[in-house]
Structure 1
Amino acid sequence: MISKKTLLLSSSVAALVGASAGTAIAQDSDFTFEEIVVTATKRASSIQDVPFSINAMSETDIKRTGASNLEDLARNVAGLQIQNLGPGQSQVAIRGVSAGQIVRDQPGVKEQVGVYLDESVISLSLFTPDLDLYDLNRVETLRGPQGTLFGSGSIGGTIRYITNQPSFDGIAGSFEADLNTVKGGGTGGSLKGMINVPLSDTIAVRAVAYHTEYGGFIDAIREGGSIDKDVNSGNRTGGRFALTFQPSDSVTFTPRVVYQEIDMNGFNRQEVFNLYANPFTDASVAGGREPVSFDERQQFLLLDEAFEDQTMIADATLEISLDSVDITSVTSYTDRDILVSRDASALTGSVSVDLGYPTEAVMLPSNLRDTTKVESFTQELRLSSNGDGPLQWVVGAFYSDTDRFYKQFLPTPGYDGFTDAVLGAGTAAATSMGVGPVDSPFYSELPYSIEQISLFGEMTYDITDRLQLTAGGRYYDYSEERYVTQVGLFGNGVVDQLDETSANGFTPRVLARYDVSDDVTVNAQVSKGFRLGGVNDPLNTALCNASDLEIFGGFQNYEDETLWNYEAGIKVNKRKVSFNAAAFYTDISNLQVTLDAGSCSSRISFNVPKAHTMGVEAEFKARPTDNFEFTFAGSLIESEFDSTVTDSTNAVLGGVRDGNRLPSVPKFQFGTTATYFFPADFIANGAEAYFSATFQHRGSIFTQPSDQEAGAGSFTSGLPFGGASGADTTVLDLELDSYQTMNLSFGVEMERWDVVAYINNVFDENANLSFDRERGGRARLAFRTNEPRTIGVKFRTRF
């Protein structure tokens, strides 16, 4: 059945088309889409000439669609999926290559999509940097494995934020102010600015600064029944400063510093069950509690929560152009400090119920603090040809050294006293082993060190004026070591346990491009990608029931994941029409699947022998008249396991069954934008106005593979507390429904300023973006959700 929202979209587009037809400027006008130049092949080339599937969202596209982060951009990029796991935490998948929800306490799991800021790699599993998009030149999405030129972590593809560089063309600047209000929530807004100044004929600088306030929209029920409004508000502050030194036409040196802070006061979690707040408690019995049924966008808190991320990136790019060779050196240093501070009272309390602690202990506020400190140094040196001959090439070497220190502890004031009273005097001190702090039933440290060196090269040869072949490969060698400490009542008593792993390999790529005409190009690719393996973190064995300990206790190392990609595509670029499409098939070996280890309150990763994805993706952009522009981006993907994995009881493990879907990937998704332009001389001479509508559809997904198994949505806590028997069952549909959103904007543009009024999420869709379960669902059940309807206005000026 067609929804009212879809009908309204159709009506809106029809109205735009009708209006366009009525006032269209002649079809033979000289309008043509701007040529987008990308550097996806480590050299500048037209997007039309890149011999594989790529999307590039220009600065104009970013502004026109109102995108403020990567999740917003994904609406108009075919095959790009973003799984929202809370502020500052997301997982990116391209073409359905996804392995399950990586969560906060899995620092050893590597990413499947590489993320770059210009030439510097900045990706980090789970914590994909949520960079501000202001003053970007474009965002490139390279689909399919990019192991040859971009290495590990790009097995599904690569995303590149390309910034505007310092310019010698003169003093220039821009400023943007935004003010918005969230339905049922708070007020947000932002101030952003850029200044570019040439200091001399050889030195130019460019500086960007921004501050954004996010209006909250999640309400927290507190003990006693009071409600705190908008607990997930927060802010983002940062900036970039770049200097370009160009002593001659052949030498350019650009050092840069990027700094950003994110401070969020809570998470976009709407709960359906909490140990302390659920429909099954009974206040009429001794020790009972009032029953609670949550409304939309509500959660229960004993403690405030927070997410903090401080990111500093310092890099320097040196480019030397000789007679026939360009030399490029990229040096980068990244320093990040991340804190995820959660109200883990229900988690700790659920263990306390299992251990027979009194109600006073079960109700103790407990704060789980996950801290991640990352220091990473990378160096790339490459040489590339710059002649006009039929042979073009690039060769290089890459080195990285990453230190990641992860710590997790659980401050719960007063807990040691209850532990000693119930389990025996001295138990708390004995389980902390002289390492863990007092009143923290869990404490862990996981310092990682990962070193990698790679050699890569790619060669392109023009066989004829129309046919071009490219071949390349990358050799990699890496080693990883870590020391594990995990103590406390909930830990397993490990101190400074050394784990080591290493791997090496080769990833090839072969591409072909054929120019059917000046406007039509077809291409084909066979390529291999890889993702580094690792070692699982120790289980919280003290929390595991006997069944889960038997099932999950034997997992330790997991191997490198590899993928072969086969694709064919077509690109059409006429004056008023751009159309790119590709069909692909990927064969995945040793897919690293991540799942929840049930009652252990741990996560594990393991290899699935075989999986595949296949599908088609298409992007279409047309300007049939000078008044009307239309874009469409969509993908149809089959993403499935080709192996069945069983546990020690011969039961299917974690939903990894031949034919089951890979997690977090919709079968079908699309986004479309229609924009109508018209003169606005009634506002000011030379002004142009526009009305734009963006509609997005995302198909249904599963957060984890196990969510699609029979009975997966039935949760019984087994925890008699607050008058609840523990035998009551919460039944949920873990196939997260498809959803649709629409954004509308009306803008007026002048030569030096513009103003835009907008409405995001017009229909106030409350979508389930991912599923959150605490301690296998025994302590808490919740869904992460999107921002409600948001109305705002933006003002921009430039000089």
Structure 2
Amino acid sequence: MGRRADLPIVTALVIAISTPASGADRLNIDIAPATLGQAAIALGRQAGISVGMSDQSLAGVRTPAVRGRMSAEMALRHLLRGTGARAQRIGDDGWRIVRARPVAPPAAATLPPRPVAPPPDAPPAEIIVTASKRDIPLPRYAGMVEALGDGAFTTAEASAGSATLLARVASLSSTHAGAGRNKLFIRAIADSALAGPTQATTGQYLGDMRLNYAAPDPDLKLYDVGRVEVLEGPQGTLYGAGSLGGIIRIMPNAPNLAQWGGQMSAGLSATGHGDPGGDLSATLNVPIVAEKLALRVVGYGVQEGGYIDDVSRDRQDINRTRTYGGRAALRFAPDDGWTIDLHAVYQHIDGDDAQYASRSVGRLQRASAIAQPYFSDYLLGNVRIEKRWDSLRFVSSTGYVRHELAESYDATQPGGSPALFRQRNRIGIFSTENRLVRDLDNGLGWILGASYLESTSDLHRSLTGFGAALAQPEVIPGVPLYGNGRAAPATGVRNSVKEATLFGEASFEPVRGLIATIGGRLTNSQLSGEALDPVAALSSSDLARAEAQANRDETVFLPSASLLTDAIPDVTLYARFQQGFRPGGLAVDDQRVRRFHNDRASTIEIGARKGVPGQDVFAASANVAYTDWRNIQADVTDRIGLPTTANIGDGRIYTVEGRVVLRPVPSVTLDASFIYNDSRLTQPAAFVRALSYDGRSLRLPNVASLGGRVAIDYRTPVGGDMDLHLSGAARYVGTSRLGVGPILGQTQGDYVDTSLSASLTRGPVQYSLALTNLFDSNGNRFSLGTPFDLRTDYYTPLRPRTVRVGIDFAF
């Protein structure tokens, strides 16, 4: 009886606003994935309209996220896409949602997101590039961007963390020292494979909060994440230092103000030649005060089985990794367009040993004198405040990060007892940003903001011997090897930076179909550095001189400009210029404290885009870019073999990228992408020329000249009450080098990584099966073993063939 179309409108879902908006007015809409009942309430509040239903059973149907500047009518069409419902206008500011055709009712009002193929005549949802900070529709964004997620990652993808992003984005690459130790690179903006005090070339963000500074990727797991955007760089105008290659912005699902609910997942995995693993997660959403205050909590634990054997110590599967952590978000939505979000994140990673092997010993085997464990401990707190007016938004984001990464390397010398070199990097980041935004609408939009950042990195080092103290060969000059497990401190460094910034960007449309954008960022940096636990061999005058050079005040201006036209229907053409930089600091070189200087990258690119990937029958994008990179900072090794940082010279990079996405039928998506990089160190620094190939240009490290990815995705209803999802992908990573010069000249890469997954969803339950490295390829993801032995044939293999079975339950 509740399904009769002539029943009265359900008054419980009618939202009356004192200042109604016309259905044709373009409004700022921001609705998270939810049920149709929740989404209708949110749309009524945001658009100032009344929304009702003739059939209460529709209230539990899941709806996608709708974000961007659009009319209330268009927002309703996006929400109702694929739901079997349609909207009828009632008066100037009222709408009634009715059933369009008979479909099976939902099993519960809290069903998990299910893949539903939209009907052929449904309008595609507009993709909004939120990482641009101005919510720009994809056809009007001048640059290469990949938006991942479309509502949620599978639990298998979520448990893999950053590895999932690497598998999906051809322009994204990484080192593979281990979870929580890797450096991520976008395009070919890669400095080195080693981990030192340099700032990352890729900026990483959780919402508006910066995740890292002078540290590797924290590798946060992607549970309950609705979307990830990867913007190619530089992105200096909007994101400042450390965005030479681009930025990765993770957007977790926001608390739902209207409905209780949650999800639990469990998975078991088996790795060929190795240990089993598993993962658990739980998400809970609690509305504390309906439509005003809600809490969302996520917790998880992941164990990845080891697969490397150490023949010297007669140990098997030594590289087991355990990760546990969680997030909590509290959302408060008072009246008058205010939204206040509080976020907290904690994650801990423990690695039992390093994950490299030696080809001369055997596949997935090596011979080490001692274990090389590591851990990463990560804590983040953030408060974000947003106020919306008719055409303006004010956003304020303030937070603090405490990140600690402890690593160890086998420093055993030939004929000596086991020795272990340890380094521990403690990073603190305080940042705040306040901006006023007018989102791009009819070719006009702007942003004006100010930010302040303080970051401190304390890098402590020590050397420990585990044999007798007598007759031990020297490992590090000036550092004693006491033996018997006693640690001796080695010289470390502290680097501090304070950045105060003003930035702005504006777009205008001088003629119809042509959008011009100009912007700039003015940053004042106060830099300081000092030695920690200096060895006795260092003179006080040397230390004072280095620290005096490190203490300085610098002002940097980063301009940007772009032109874009969408005058050709369904086609975007653009040209863009952008810059980025990283501040300098102090590093330890041959047990001496030395300064390294700022570097700066300038990129010019032209590109084209047609269609919307995954929605249109044919969609494609391509671009060509040239990057001039001056005074490149790189983490290298000194003569002892210890990681250090230096400016290695000037370089240039040519990049060509392309992507084609086909959707021949609504249930099938074919995706193919490639990237070609030609990177050269054209003007090597004097010490690089002395160590390597004087007079020749050298390839920049860690990014392959050629890479590509192909994938297929198939979604279809099965039996009327189930959904089947199949996907498969293969990614090729070409050859690259560990570093510059003969010592770090080992080659890596030239492998294919493959995956296959299947899931079956029925009501609130989903069963899944995932298979990675289908052909059990060995490969070589990373050439570095220990920096104290750079001549052994070390390599880091792909994780052997792994199968995971999982179950998810929504409630």
Under TM normalisation by the shorter chain, which class is it?
Answer: 0.7 to 0.9
Q: 1:143 corresponds to which residue?
A: 232
Q: 1:355 corresponds to which residue?
A: none
Counterpart selection for 1:749 from 744, 761, 764: 761
Letter in 2 for 1:206: R
Counterpart selection for 2:529 from 482, 485, 493: 482
Counterpart selection for 1:300 from 338, 351, 367: 367
Letter in 2 for 1:80: L
Counterpart selection for 1:341 from 404, 408, 411: 408
The Cα RMSD (Å) is 3.2
SS in structure 2 of the partner of residue 199 of structure 1:
strand
Letter in 2 for 1:304: A
Length, aligned pairs only: 687
1:666-677 matches, cutoff 5 A:
666-677=704-715
Greater relative contact order, per chain length (Cα 8 Å cut-off, separation 6+): 1
Counterpart selection for 1:90 from 175, 179, 182: 182
1:464-479 matches, cutoff 5 A:
464-479=511-526
Letter in 1 for 2:433: E
SS in structure 1 of the partner of residue 167 of structure 2:
helix
Q: Kindly indicate whether the alpha-carbon contact (under 8 Å) linking 1:436 and 1:442 is maintained by their aligned counterparts in 2.
A: no
Q: 1:58 corresponds to which residue?
A: 149
Counterpart selection for 1:399 from 452, 462, 470: 452
Cα distance, 1:489–1:383 mapped onto 2, change above 3 Å: same
What per-residue deviation string (whole Å, max 9, x for no partner) do you get for residues 473-517 of structure 1?
Answer: 001111221221355599889878734244221001111221134
Q: Kindly indicate whether the alpha-carbon contact (under 8 Å) linking 1:399 and 1:454 is maintained by their aligned counterparts in 2.
A: yes
Q: Kindly indicate whether the alpha-carbon contact (under 8 Å) linking 2:117 and 2:715 is maintained by their aligned counterparts in 1.
A: no
Q: Could you tell me how far 1:338 is from its partner in structure 2?
A: 1.9
Q: 2:431 corresponds to which residue?
A: 378
Q: 2:652 corresponds to which residue?
A: 612
Q: Kindly indicate whether the alpha-carbon contact (under 8 Å) linking 1:601 and 1:774 is maintained by their aligned counterparts in 2.
A: no
Q: 2:106 corresponds to which residue?
A: none
Q: Could you tell me how far 1:311 is from its partner in structure 2?
A: 0.7
Q: Could you tell me how far 1:144 is from its partner in structure 2?
A: 1.8
The answer on 1:256 being equivalent to 2:343 is yes
What per-residue deviation string (whole Å, max 9, x for no partner) do you get for residues 583-630 of structure 1?
Answer: 211122222233322445343412413x11112212222220133221
Q: Distance in 2 between matches of 1:381 and 1:436?
A: 53
Q: 1:72 corresponds to which residue?
A: 164
Letter in 1 for 2:509: D
Q: Could you tell me how far 1:213 is from its partner in structure 2?
A: 0.9
Q: Distance in 2 between matches of 1:387 and 1:674?
A: 33
Q: 1:509 corresponds to which residue?
A: 560
Q: Distance in 2 between matches of 1:47 and 1:761?
A: 33
Q: Kindly indicate whether the alpha-carbon contact (under 8 Å) linking 2:309 and 2:364 is maintained by their aligned counterparts in 1.
A: yes
Cα distance, 1:513–1:583 mapped onto 2, change above 3 Å: same
Q: Kindly indicate whether the alpha-carbon contact (under 8 Å) linking 2:139 and 2:566 is maintained by their aligned counterparts in 1.
A: no
Percent identity of the aligned residues? 24
Cα distance, 1:738–1:26 mapped onto 2, change above 3 Å: closer
The answer on 1:523 being equivalent to 2:574 is yes
Q: Kindly indicate whether the alpha-carbon contact (under 8 Å) linking 2:463 and 2:479 is maintained by their aligned counterparts in 1.
A: no
The answer on 1:603 being equivalent to 2:693 is no
Normalising by structure 1, we get a TM-score of 0.80
Q: Distance in 2 between matches of 1:26 and 1:217?
A: 40
Counterpart selection for 2:731 from 669, 675, 696: 696
SS in structure 1 of the partner of residue 403 of structure 2:
strand
Counterpart selection for 1:161 from 250, 273, 284: 250
Q: Distance in 1 between matches of 2:249 and 2:118?
A: 36
1:482-631 matches, cutoff 5 A:
482-487=529-534, 498=547, 499-540=550-591, 556-573=594-611, 575-609=616-650, 611-631=651-671
The answer on 1:197 being equivalent to 2:286 is yes
Letter in 1 for 2:729: T
The answer on 1:117 being equivalent to 2:201 is no
SS in structure 2 of the partner of residue 266 of structure 1:
coil
SS in structure 1 of the partner of residue 354 of structure 2:
coil
Deviates more, 1:454-463 or 1:651-660: 651-660
Normalising by structure 2, we get a TM-score of 0.79
Q: 1:634 corresponds to which residue?
A: 674
Cα distance, 1:629–1:40 mapped onto 2, change above 3 Å: same
Letter in 2 for 1:317: R
Q: Kindly indicate whether the alpha-carbon contact (under 8 Å) linking 2:493 and 2:587 is maintained by their aligned counterparts in 1.
A: no
Q: Could you tell me how far 1:38 is from its partner in structure 2?
A: 2.7
SS in structure 1 of the partner of residue 632 of structure 2:
strand
Q: 2:312 corresponds to which residue?
A: 222
Q: Distance in 1 between matches of 2:229 and 2:240?
A: 17
Q: Kindly indicate whether the alpha-carbon contact (under 8 Å) linking 1:442 and 1:490 is maintained by their aligned counterparts in 2.
A: no
Q: 1:287 corresponds to which residue?
A: none
Q: Distance in 1 between matches of 2:757 and 2:696?
A: 45
Cα distance, 1:324–1:572 mapped onto 2, change above 3 Å: closer
1:123-138 matches, cutoff 5 A:
123-138=212-227
Q: Distance in 2 between matches of 1:771 and 1:491?
A: 33
Q: Could you tell me how far 1:143 is from its partner in structure 2?
A: 0.5
Q: Kindly indicate whether the alpha-carbon contact (under 8 Å) linking 2:467 and 2:485 is maintained by their aligned counterparts in 1.
A: no
The answer on 1:686 being equivalent to 2:721 is yes
Q: 2:381 corresponds to which residue?
A: 314
Counterpart selection for 1:45 from 136, 145, 150: 136
Cα distance, 1:61–1:204 mapped onto 2, change above 3 Å: closer
Q: Could you tell me how far 1:632 is from its partner in structure 2?
A: 1.6
Unmatched segments (≥5 aa) in structure 1? 1-24, 273-292, 351-358, 542-554, 714-733
Letter in 1 for 2:664: P
Q: 2:805 corresponds to which residue?
A: 793
Q: Kindly indicate whether the alpha-carbon contact (under 8 Å) linking 2:590 and 2:640 is maintained by their aligned counterparts in 1.
A: no
Q: 1:247 corresponds to which residue?
A: 334
Q: Kindly indicate whether the alpha-carbon contact (under 8 Å) linking 1:218 and 1:229 is maintained by their aligned counterparts in 2.
A: yes
What per-residue deviation string (whole Å, max 9, x for no partner) do you get for residues 47-66 of structure 1?
Answer: 33322111111245743983
SS in structure 2 of the partner of residue 66 of structure 1:
helix
SS in structure 2 of the partner of residue 313 of structure 1:
strand
Q: Distance in 2 between matches of 1:124 and 1:644?
A: 26
Letter in 1 for 2:803: I
Cα distance, 1:602–1:636 mapped onto 2, change above 3 Å: closer
Q: Could you tell me how far 1:656 is from its partner in structure 2?
A: 7.9
What per-residue deviation string (whole Å, max 9, x for no partner) do you get for residues 297-348 of structure 1?
Answer: 112233333211111100000112245542211101011222113333x2xx
Unmatched segments (≥5 aa) in structure 2? 1-115
Q: Distance in 2 between matches of 1:48 and 1:675?
A: 24
Q: 2:43 corresponds to which residue?
A: none
Q: Could you tell me how far 1:467 is from its partner in structure 2?
A: 1.5
Q: 2:508 corresponds to which residue?
A: 461
Counterpart selection for 1:760 from 758, 766, 772: 772
Q: Distance in 2 between matches of 1:470 and 1:95?
A: 23
What per-residue deviation string (whole Å, max 9, x for no partner) do you get for residues 617-652 of structure 1?
Answer: 12222220133221122211211122244449xx54
Q: Kindly indicate whether the alpha-carbon contact (under 8 Å) linking 1:440 and 1:488 is maintained by their aligned counterparts in 2.
A: no
SS in structure 1 of the partner of residue 353 of structure 2:
coil
Deviates more, 1:145-154 or 1:436-445: 436-445
1:13-52 matches, cutoff 5 A:
29-30=120-121, 34-52=125-143
Cα distance, 1:784–1:124 mapped onto 2, change above 3 Å: farther
Q: Kindly indicate whether the alpha-carbon contact (under 8 Å) linking 2:214 and 2:457 is maintained by their aligned counterparts in 1.
A: no
Q: Distance in 1 between matches of 2:680 and 2:392?
A: 45
Q: 2:63 corresponds to which residue?
A: none
